[in-house]
Amino acid sequence: MTAHAAEPVPTVPPMPERTPKALREAIAQHTPQLLADFDEHWKWAVADAYDISTVPAFMARWWGEYAIARDVRLDALVTDLEHRAADSTDLAEAKRLLEEVSHLRYEAQRLEPGR
């Protein structure tokens, strides 16, 4: 009889420096599925707008997106909660699930570089 090895726990990469360039590099390396949307959003929100005042809002959004997507377990949890809320016929339950998602997203946006 052979024992099955436990599934390896994927390592979560640290958060990058809090700059658009460092965040883009981290996304390209660790969560490439987000890269096209990141680049498209950057183009219309910052580059084509010729407006650097939009960078803090852009960074806040993508910082949180990357923080969640880089952690397979957290990403799966957020996705599951969102799907359960969308499928719920109980308004109170859907609200509770979405509040949990909101809390997780808020905590993700508060992560510091290197965490």
pLDDT tops 80 at residue 5: no
Tell me the per-residue pLDDT of 46-93, one tens digit each, with 9 for 90 and over.
988 888 899 999 999 999 999 999 999 999 999 999 999 999 999 999
Q: What percent of the chain has pLDDT over 90?
A: 86
Is 8 part of a structural domain of the chain?
A: no
Overall average pLDDT of the 37-54 stretch: 93
> From CA 24, how far away is CA 39, in angstroms rounded?
8
Closest C-alpha to 7, from 95, 99, 72, 86: 72
27 domain-assigned: yes
In 3-state terms, what secondary structure has residue 89? coil
Asked whether residue 15 is domain-assigned, the answer is no
Q: Is residue 49 part of a domain?
A: yes
Q: What is the pTM of this model?
A: 0.86
User: 35-42 and 20-30 helices cross at what angle (nearest 10)?
Assistant: 160
Residue 1 lies in a domain: no
Q: Is the pLDDT of residue 107 over 70?
A: yes
* 63 within a domain of the structure (yes/no): yes
Does the residue 71 lie in any domain? yes
**What's the total number of domains in the chain?**
1
Query: Does residue 11 fall inside a structural domain?
Result: no
Instruction: Round to whole Å and give the CA distance between 91 and 34.
Output: 31
Both tokens of residue 48? 């084509």
Query: Which domain covers residue 86, as residue numbers?
Result: 20-109
